[in-house]
Amino acid sequence: MIAPQTLRECPLFSGLPYAALEKIAGLVVEKEYEPGTIVLREGESAEELFIVQEGKVALQMTLPIPEGQMSRKLTADILTRNEILGWSAIVEPYVYTLTAVCLQKTKIFSISGAKLRWLLEDNPKIGYELLKGLIKVVASRLEETRQLLIAERSLTLKPE
Protein backbone atom coordinates (compact mmCIF):
# COMPACT_ATOMS: atom_id res chain seq x y z
CA MET A 1 0.00 0.00 0.00
CA ILE A 2 1.32 3.47 -0.80
CA ALA A 3 1.88 6.12 1.84
CA PRO A 4 -1.32 8.22 2.13
CA GLN A 5 0.79 11.41 2.22
CA THR A 6 1.85 10.69 -1.37
CA LEU A 7 -1.70 11.29 -2.54
CA ARG A 8 -1.75 14.76 -1.02
CA GLU A 9 0.69 15.93 -3.69
CA CYS A 10 -2.02 15.39 -6.30
CA PRO A 11 -4.40 18.39 -6.64
CA LEU A 12 -7.39 16.05 -6.72
CA PHE A 13 -6.72 14.82 -3.19
CA SER A 14 -4.94 17.80 -1.67
CA GLY A 15 -7.97 18.96 0.34
CA LEU A 16 -8.78 15.57 1.90
CA PRO A 17 -8.12 14.72 5.57
CA TYR A 18 -5.55 12.06 6.41
CA ALA A 19 -8.20 9.45 7.28
CA ALA A 20 -9.73 9.82 3.81
CA LEU A 21 -6.32 9.57 2.16
CA GLU A 22 -5.71 6.34 4.05
CA LYS A 23 -8.90 4.82 2.68
CA ILE A 24 -8.10 5.89 -0.88
CA ALA A 25 -4.47 4.75 -0.55
CA GLY A 26 -5.83 1.29 0.14
CA LEU A 27 -7.43 1.29 -3.31
CA VAL A 28 -4.27 2.30 -5.18
CA VAL A 29 -2.43 -0.16 -7.40
CA GLU A 30 0.97 0.87 -8.72
CA LYS A 31 1.53 0.15 -12.39
CA GLU A 32 4.40 0.64 -14.80
CA TYR A 33 4.10 1.19 -18.52
CA GLU A 34 6.68 1.08 -21.27
CA PRO A 35 6.99 3.97 -23.78
CA GLY A 36 4.35 3.78 -26.49
CA THR A 37 1.86 1.84 -24.33
CA ILE A 38 -1.72 2.98 -24.44
CA VAL A 39 -3.02 3.38 -20.89
CA LEU A 40 -6.63 4.13 -21.81
CA ARG A 41 -8.55 4.53 -25.05
CA GLU A 42 -11.14 7.07 -26.08
CA GLY A 43 -14.63 5.60 -26.05
CA GLU A 44 -13.80 2.69 -23.73
CA SER A 45 -15.56 2.10 -20.45
CA ALA A 46 -13.85 4.22 -17.77
CA GLU A 47 -12.94 1.72 -15.08
CA GLU A 48 -9.85 3.30 -13.56
CA LEU A 49 -8.62 6.70 -12.52
CA PHE A 50 -4.88 7.26 -12.89
CA ILE A 51 -2.32 9.53 -11.28
CA VAL A 52 1.04 9.95 -13.02
CA GLN A 53 4.00 9.47 -10.69
CA GLU A 54 6.91 9.31 -13.08
CA GLY A 55 7.22 9.81 -16.79
CA LYS A 56 5.03 11.55 -19.36
CA VAL A 57 1.65 10.69 -20.82
CA ALA A 58 0.17 12.26 -23.95
CA LEU A 59 -3.60 12.74 -24.13
CA GLN A 60 -4.90 12.40 -27.68
CA MET A 61 -8.28 12.93 -29.22
CA THR A 62 -9.45 11.39 -32.47
CA LEU A 63 -10.71 13.69 -35.19
CA PRO A 64 -12.41 12.84 -38.48
CA ILE A 65 -10.02 13.21 -41.43
CA PRO A 66 -10.83 16.23 -43.52
CA GLU A 67 -8.93 16.61 -46.77
CA GLY A 68 -5.39 17.93 -46.30
CA GLN A 69 -5.22 17.41 -42.53
CA MET A 70 -2.00 16.16 -41.02
CA SER A 71 -3.23 13.50 -38.67
CA ARG A 72 -6.25 11.69 -37.42
CA LYS A 73 -5.19 12.16 -33.84
CA LEU A 74 -4.34 15.36 -32.07
CA THR A 75 -2.50 15.62 -28.80
CA ALA A 76 -4.46 17.75 -26.36
CA ASP A 77 -1.97 17.74 -23.48
CA ILE A 78 1.10 16.08 -22.03
CA LEU A 79 0.76 15.06 -18.39
CA THR A 80 3.57 14.75 -15.90
CA ARG A 81 3.95 14.00 -12.19
CA ASN A 82 0.86 14.24 -9.96
CA GLU A 83 -1.50 14.98 -12.84
CA ILE A 84 -4.59 12.86 -13.22
CA LEU A 85 -6.08 11.12 -16.19
CA GLY A 86 -9.20 9.08 -16.61
CA TRP A 87 -11.35 11.17 -14.25
CA SER A 88 -14.30 9.95 -16.34
CA ALA A 89 -14.13 6.92 -14.04
CA ILE A 90 -15.95 8.98 -11.39
CA VAL A 91 -18.08 11.13 -13.70
CA GLU A 92 -21.02 9.83 -15.73
CA PRO A 93 -21.34 8.33 -18.31
CA TYR A 94 -18.08 6.64 -17.23
CA VAL A 95 -16.55 6.63 -20.70
CA TYR A 96 -13.03 7.84 -21.48
CA THR A 97 -13.04 10.95 -23.67
CA LEU A 98 -9.36 10.81 -24.66
CA THR A 99 -6.64 8.26 -25.40
CA ALA A 100 -3.54 8.24 -23.18
CA VAL A 101 -0.16 7.16 -24.58
CA CYS A 102 3.01 6.87 -22.50
CA LEU A 103 5.91 8.83 -23.97
CA GLN A 104 8.44 7.55 -21.46
CA LYS A 105 8.69 4.68 -19.03
CA THR A 106 5.85 5.71 -16.75
CA LYS A 107 4.82 4.84 -13.22
CA ILE A 108 1.16 5.38 -12.49
CA PHE A 109 -1.16 4.99 -9.53
CA SER A 110 -4.34 3.29 -10.64
CA ILE A 111 -7.57 3.50 -8.63
CA SER A 112 -10.60 1.41 -9.43
CA GLY A 113 -13.41 3.75 -10.49
CA ALA A 114 -16.14 1.55 -9.06
CA LYS A 115 -14.46 1.22 -5.65
CA LEU A 116 -13.74 4.93 -5.50
CA ARG A 117 -17.34 5.80 -6.38
CA TRP A 118 -18.56 3.43 -3.67
CA LEU A 119 -16.22 5.10 -1.18
CA LEU A 120 -17.45 8.55 -2.16
CA GLU A 121 -21.11 7.53 -1.95
CA ASP A 122 -20.52 5.97 1.43
CA ASN A 123 -18.65 9.02 2.70
CA PRO A 124 -20.36 12.12 1.31
CA LYS A 125 -17.91 14.48 2.99
CA ILE A 126 -14.97 12.80 1.25
CA GLY A 127 -17.01 12.82 -1.95
CA TYR A 128 -17.62 16.55 -1.67
CA GLU A 129 -13.94 17.35 -1.02
CA LEU A 130 -12.78 15.11 -3.84
CA LEU A 131 -15.21 16.60 -6.30
CA LYS A 132 -14.05 20.07 -5.28
CA GLY A 133 -10.54 18.97 -6.19
CA LEU A 134 -11.77 17.51 -9.48
CA ILE A 135 -13.53 20.74 -10.40
CA LYS A 136 -10.29 22.65 -9.81
CA VAL A 137 -8.41 20.28 -12.13
CA VAL A 138 -11.07 20.48 -14.83
CA ALA A 139 -11.31 24.28 -14.49
CA SER A 140 -7.55 24.58 -14.81
CA ARG A 141 -7.55 22.53 -18.02
CA LEU A 142 -10.47 24.54 -19.34
CA GLU A 143 -8.58 27.75 -18.66
CA GLU A 144 -5.47 26.46 -20.49
CA THR A 145 -7.60 25.43 -23.45
CA ARG A 146 -9.30 28.84 -23.45
CA GLN A 147 -5.92 30.59 -23.49
CA LEU A 148 -4.87 28.48 -26.46
CA LEU A 149 -8.08 29.24 -28.34
CA ILE A 150 -7.80 32.98 -27.71
CA ALA A 151 -4.11 33.04 -28.64
CA GLU A 152 -4.71 31.16 -31.89
CA ARG A 153 -7.67 33.34 -32.79
CA SER A 154 -5.74 36.52 -32.08
CA LEU A 155 -3.05 35.29 -34.48
CA THR A 156 -5.53 34.77 -37.30
CA LEU A 157 -7.26 38.10 -36.64
CA LYS A 158 -4.01 40.06 -36.35
CA PRO A 159 -4.01 43.10 -38.66
CA GLU A 160 -1.30 42.92 -41.33
Partner 1 sequence: MRVASAVATEKEGARVVIASEQPQAQYFLRELIEGVGQAVVVAQAPNASTALAVTRHLRPDVVIIDCYLPHVIGMDRVALSRVGGLDVAEAISEEMPKTRVVLLNNMDTVAPLDRRFSSDPNSVYSIESMGAKLTFIPSEVEYDKVVASPIIFANISAKAHTPPVMKGIKPGDKIMLLGGSGIVVGWILILTIMLAPIGLALVLAGGLTVSFTLAARMVSSWWRRIRQPKPSSEATVKA
Judge contact between 89 and 47, C-beta under 8 A.
yes
Angle between helices 124-156 and 113-122 (to 10 degrees): 120
Q: Is 152 in the site for partner 1 (CB under 8 A)?
A: yes
Task: Work out which of 77, 112, 117, 137 binds partner 1, going by CB under 8 A.
Answer: 77
Q: Is 99 in the site for partner 1 (CB under 8 A)?
A: no
Q: Is 98 in the site for partner 1 (CB under 8 A)?
A: no
**Whose CA is closest to 37, among 98, 113, 106, 110?**
106
Which range in 9-17, 96-104, 109-117, 124-132 contacts partner 1 by CB under 8 A? 96-104
Task: Work out which of 151, 157, 158, 160 binds partner 1, going by CB under 8 A.
Answer: 151
Closest to partner 1 by CB, 56 vs 117, is 56
Task: Work out which of 17, 54, 148, 153 binds partner 1, going by CB under 8 A.
Answer: 148
**Whose CA is closest to 126, among 27, 20, 49?**
20
Which amino acid, 137?
V
Q: Is 97 in the site for partner 1 (CB under 8 A)?
A: no
* Residue 72 Cβ vs partner 1, minimum distance, rounded to whole Å: 8
Q: What are phi and psi of 69, to 5 degrees?
A: -75, 150
Task: Work out which of 97, 104, 112, 123 binds partner 1, going by CB under 8 A.
Answer: 104
* Residue 105 Cβ vs partner 1, minimum distance, rounded to whole Å: 8
β-sheet with 57-62: strand ranges across: 38-40, 99-102, 57-62, 73-79
Which amino acid, 22?
E
Residues present in the chain in total: 160
Sign of CA dihedral 122, 128, 132, 135: positive
Residues lying near partner 1 in the complex (CB under 8 A) are found at 34-36, 56, 58, 60, 70-71, 73-78, 101-104, 144-145, 147-148, 151-152, 155
